Amino acid sequence: MLDDRGILSSRSLTDLRGRYHNDDHRRYSYGDNITPDFLERAIQKAKETLNGPKPPPPFIPSFEQLRIARRDRDAEINSRLRGQPLPDFLSPEDDAEVSRHLKKRGVIAKVARLQVTDADLSRLIPGTWLNDEIINFYGQLILERSEAHPKSKAVINGARSEKSTILNVHYFNSFFFEKLAREGYEKARLAKWTKKFDLFSKDVALLPINHGNSHWTAATINFRRRRIESFDSMGVWRQDVFDLLREYVELEHLNKKDRPFDWTDWVDYCPRDTPRQENGYDCGVFTCQFLEALSRGMDSPFNFTQRNMTFLRRRMILEIMRTELLGGT
C-alpha cells in the first residue's frame, strides 16, 4: 500500500520514524553530568600516564645511515637499469677514439702482467674470432674491478653484503679449464692457482672455456647461488663442464679445507633464455659479456643480443685501451 508520501510500503517493514523521537535517547557530552567521582578517576589516570614510562624519542637517522640507505636505493635502481636495452652505437667522440686506437701498432695496452698488441685488438673488428689474449685481458679487467670495489669484500654481521652490484669474484684465465680437462687436478697442479686466496670465500669463480679451439663459452662456480653454471651462445648443454667443475671443487676443498665439499642444494644450471649468436664468430664477445654481467650479479636474462655485437666490440676496444670497464658499476 502507499503511505502518505506516495511510497510503496510493506506490512513487514517496521516504522522507525517515531522510535527515537524523545530526548531520552540523545547522545550527550559530559556537560552537567560530570560527577566528583568521575573527575577523581580522570585525574588519577592522567597522573599515572605522566608518571609512566616515557615514549621513545623519534627516530632521526644518522648521516651514515642516510648514506647507506641512499646507496642501497641506488643499487636497486642500478640493478633495474641493467636490464635496459643497450644502445646501437657509441657516442661520436668515443667512436672516433676507437678508430684512432685501431691505427696504433705494437703493444698498445697493458694490465697486470697481460698485454694486448694491435694484432690482438684487430680481433675485435666485426667478423673475427677473439683469441686468448683478448679474452684474458678482459677477464683481468673484471677481476681488478671486483678487487677495487669497496664493497666486494665487505662482511656485514658475519655475512657478505648482498647490496653491492659488484660481486667478489675470481677470474680463472682461459688455460685453467684446458689444464683441468687434459691433465686433471693433481697433474696440472691446480692447487697452486689458489694458494694466495680462499676460493670458497668468493661469490663467484668465472671461467672462459674454449671447446676444441672452435667455440667459446662461459662457466661459473657460483657459491652465492649454489650452482655450477654454463652459458653457451649456441644453446648447448655442457655436461663435461658440469662434471669437471664439480670434480675440481671437491678436490680443491679437500686440499684446502681437509674435508669433502657440502653439495647440499647445488644444481647444474644452463638457462634456456641465454642470448644466442647468429653467426660463427661472435661467441668470444658473448662469452666476455656473460662474464662481465655475471660479475655484477646478473645471470639471466641478459640485456644484450646478437644485434648488439657490433656496438659491444667497439666498446670492448675502448675498455681495453682505457683499462676500465664501462658496462656497469
**Total residue count of the chain as it appears in this document:** 329
CB burial string 220-241: b at 16+ within 10 A, e below: bbbbeeebbbbbbbeeeebeeb
Report which of 168, 275, 264 is spatially closest to residue 218, judged by C-alpha positions: 275
Catalytic residue among 101, 149, 270, 283: 283
Establish whether 215 is a catalytic residue: yes
Question: Are 209 and 219 within 8 A, CB to CB?
Answer: yes
From 215, 270, 288, 299, active-site residue: 215
Which of the following is catalytic: 120, 232, 282, 299? 232
Indicate if 283 belongs to the active site. yes
Q: Is 101 annotated as catalytic?
A: no
Considering only CA atoms, which of 172, 166, 182, 89 is closest in space to residue 132? 172
Cα gap 325→146, rounded to integer Å? 11
Report the distance separating Cα 302 and Cα 289, nearest Å.
9
With contact defined as beta carbons under 8 Å apart, do 215 and 283 qualify? yes
- Could you give the residue numbers annotated as active site? 215, 232, 283
